[in-house]
Structure 1
């Protein structure tokens, strides 16, 4: 064998990149320690974080991050979770609940987007909390977010198994679960660029699904079914609100609406994914604001209009809404198609919902592994959890394989089911555990933004920065205050129904389902059932977060960063080469019809 070929074969095809050792006294909020006397504080900060870009190179393009910003807001919660929300709130309560929570999501996303577009390469919300609030908050926020994205992964896999059960009758649950686990993990092992490509394809599929459902719903509402025109028939009978839910009269109307608000929050989780992925986005300082610019239209189009169409098609007292199979048959969209005698379509939409669940699971692995990498980068997790796998000869590819492997281990929680009803129960308990954690992550992000806003405002007043350096929204900081207050309200009210339950039991009785089937003949629907597990899974993340926060402060004696000590020099500057790499279309020189046509195409595609 020639010497050259033998030499090439003897070289490894990959390398494992460990993290550099970090001195316990060299915290991120103390960059002046252990640095050369001739190095300025700003240079020390840049040296501290520059290698993050080198170890996780930017591979997500502008088109991909725009599609991810759409796809992150469309998931199984929209397709499968509206049946209970419609039952609890009635048609008007459903629309108002999702519209109000949509405003909270919008304010949260624009706040997060402002920070990461200015500083995308310092570890996402963990690094931002480290710099502008407290190391203890960064520690607690990072592990809370990792817990959320890691535990929601088996929940999404359980949802996928339920969808496959529409055809298999609940058989082969273990095999289907294993197949989803393997394919989702392998997809993330291909690298960030392939993750972006997958998300572009699945986002287009999800957008096509929701647009198709909206168009079909409009056709049915105006008379395209044997039932004739519906218009606002179900807003009149049985009524605007479900006054029989939880309490009689006006109190029942309000409690039903408030229940929708809590369910809507779970449906919107994931809207912040583009900002979390900012560290791997090409031209993040430019492309993240572009991706988030039209998010309010996407929320309105896909969620508010979607739930409005549902409110026109199915009455809240329809017995089919009691379906808890977890398949397409429980979706109000599919129930409306069946009522319109449009047969065969549930199979098509079940397949589309299945693709949505797979996409959501893939995003869960991606975000979970990045949070673990950032925690290790900041010294809040063992160093080996930040190790990277870099195939040689494959360009700039870096895979945080330890984070992916750990997410894969936790995805095995989905194997707890044994087919049939236990699968649905597994999904319910797992999803309940993530609601409070996700809300805590939003609260931590918003509090970090409020501190970041104070620091950047002082930098502007002192002449260190210009206002043009920040993608400041005209609603700030009031949008952040509003979202922070609403998220706190929803967090403490999460699963409020357990406090008015008529009995406290640990498990379901024979023939019982949870949530209990709605009885339209009763004066009102009392809360009963196994509420003890609901109480535990809904509120356990709150004391866990506080233990992490104050435990870290107690051990390391950390203090909140003062406004005057906040670093204003850590920003992302776009080079001329980066701008030339992805030129933005010149919308100003286009005819009006073409300009707005491209806007619309970009929003929905």
Structure 2
């Protein structure tokens, strides 16, 4: 069965859940979590992840109502265009597309570097190109094949996290012996260097990073148009995804904090590897290297899917060339996938040729995009419900309703806005505003300029016909 847009509705609930997890669980957890613990301290990091989870939960409650009522591919871009304004929808779409294409470049580079551990004499670029080809092929085959591949990609890292939490918990209670004397001071690691070793402000900075770490949950909305029975699948996927994310992220951080002193956590190696080696797991570094590689490829798979569907949505709304709205016989927007992959290749190139100029600008803009997308989802739901009631319709007719309206969308919007304001006070992240604001202005300007040109062309055609 095909959707109204021509897409094949072949994604089941397990596919959508794993697609979302695949976009979220990646190097941010496996590699960067050590740096986060070092900066904010164990307790501060756990608090910031809990607050981040709350923000995501509120935003996803808003997305649930919109996606069930209007299940379409490229969802939140369409919602923003319909309920906030065409310029906002256009800008949100390009911001989100850029986020994932930049991510593709960094993920293919990281995957190639990870392979150096096992094949040090093979160039990084050979592996990067090979992985890019694999991800491209997975995305141009049927949606069902893509969904299955992403399911198994994501399952590997989910099982790895579950196993890590089980082993860590066993070490904490003493079932698994660790280094001499380590078990006696496990919980002392939480307060050895003070509750907030670098002050409360460090937690605020960590919370900003946590928002980005949770990005990817909104992929549930992107996939709405290709989901089997959206009214049942979307709410279930939102609920189960968020529960698992909180368990995985907070559970992992708790185990890491208990078994690894904050002063020893860092970015030189994965904190997961350090803890597994302390527990005495053989070949810990190789095992985790494989898991991180799988995580990166999973995120790249989700990213190419998301960026191509966003281009399709722009084209379907006649905001860019109609060529990107064409679907091949497998129901895949091939031209949109190709352009997104080319964008990822350019990002990959800029990360090597101009890492301190072009690539920094791209990363800064994409960093802002996630929070702006979440703000657009919250605002869209607020305005949708307001319009829905104003038209005399009963909210009882909505198959999924955002609870505690209007508190949930307003609180979600305010918390996201607070994180953007916080960026202005951090010198290391302020570049995101310097680069992001002009890019947003450029998108709005481009939209309204194009709109004016189209309107003028139509009026000229009408005048010529009158003669």
Q: TM-score range with shorter-chain normalisation?
A: 0.7 to 0.9
Secondary structure of 1:99's counterpart equals helix
Deviations 1:201-231 (A, max 9, x none): 1222121011111112212223321234143
Name 1:347's counterpart in structure 2. 286
- How far apart are the structure 1 equivalents of 2:287 and 2:201? 35
Which contiguous aligned blocks of 4+ residues in structure 1 show a shift greater than 6 angstroms?
422-429
Q: Determine the structure 2 residue equivalent to 1:406.
A: 339
TM-score by length of 2: 0.88
**Number of paired residues?**
446
Whole-angstrom distance in 2 between the partners of 1:417 and 1:72: 21
CA contact (8 A) 2:204 2:422 kept: no
Corresponding position of 1:236: 191
Structure 2 residue corresponding to 1:335, chosen from 269, 274, 277: 274
Output the aligned Cα RMSD.
2.6
Change (3 A) 1:106 1:405: same
2:61–2:403 CA contact under 8 A, matched in 1 = no
Contact kept, 8 Å, 1:174 with 1:418, in 2: the verdict is no
Give the secondary-structure state (helix, strand or coil) at the position aligned to 2:116. helix
Report deviation, 1:432: 4.1
> Is the 1:104–1:483 Cα contact (8 Å) retained in structure 2?
yes
Any conservation in 2 of the 1:439–1:491 contact (CA below 8 Å)?
Answer: yes
How big is each residue's C-alpha offset from its partner over 1:49-75, in whole Å with a ceiling of 9 and x where there is no partner? Answer: xx9624222121233223334434322
Residues 311-346 of structure 1: per-residue CA shift (max 9 Å, x gap): 11212211x6151xxxxxx22121122334444211
Q: Is the 8 A contact 2:308 2:340 kept in 1?
A: yes
Structure 1 residue matching 2:262: 3-state secondary structure = coil
Deviation, 1:477, is 2.6
| Inter-CA distance 476–305: structure 2 relative to 1 (3 Å threshold) | farther
State which of 48, 68, 92 in structure 2 corresponds to 1:141.
Answer: 92
Shift of 1:184: 0.7
Report the equivalent of 2:115. Answer: 164
Partner of 1:225: 178
Q: Judging by fraction of residues, say which structure has more helix.
A: 2
Asked if 2 retains the 8 angstrom alpha-carbon contact of 1:83 and 1:321, the reply is yes
How far did residue 279 of structure 1 move? 0.4
Q: Cα distance, 1:293 vs. partner? A: 2.5
Alpha carbons of structure 1 residues 146 and 417: separation in structure 2 relative to 1, 3 Å: closer
Q: Which residue of 2 aligns with 1:467?
A: 396
Q: Summarize the alignment of residues 79-228 of structure 1 with structure 2, pairs less than 5 Å apart.
A: 79-121=30-72, 123-169=74-120, 172-223=123-174, 224-227=177-180, 228=182
Deviation, structure 1 residue 183 = 0.7
Alpha-carbon shift at residue 306 of structure 1 (Å): 1.6
Aligned: 1:544 with 2:448: no
Aligned pairs (5 A) from 1:561-580: none
- Mark the structure with the bigger radius of gyration: 1
C-alpha distance 257-122 of structure 1, shift in aligned 2 (>3 A): closer
Q: Distance in 1 between matches of 2:371 and 2:361?
A: 17
Q: Please show how residues 471-482 of structure 1 align to structure 2 within 5 Å.
A: 471-482=400-411
**How much has 1:455 moved relative to structure 2?**
1.6
2-structure distance, mates of 1:555, 1:68:
34
Deviations 1:544-563 (Å, cap 9, x if unpaired)?
Answer: 11332355347648xxxxxx
Which of 69-78 and 201-210 deviates more?
Answer: 69-78
Q: Which has the higher contact order (CA 8 A, sep 6+)?
A: 2
1:490 partnered with 2:419: yes
Unaligned 5+ segments in structure 1 are 1-50, 244-252, 324-329, 391-396, 499-530, 558-605
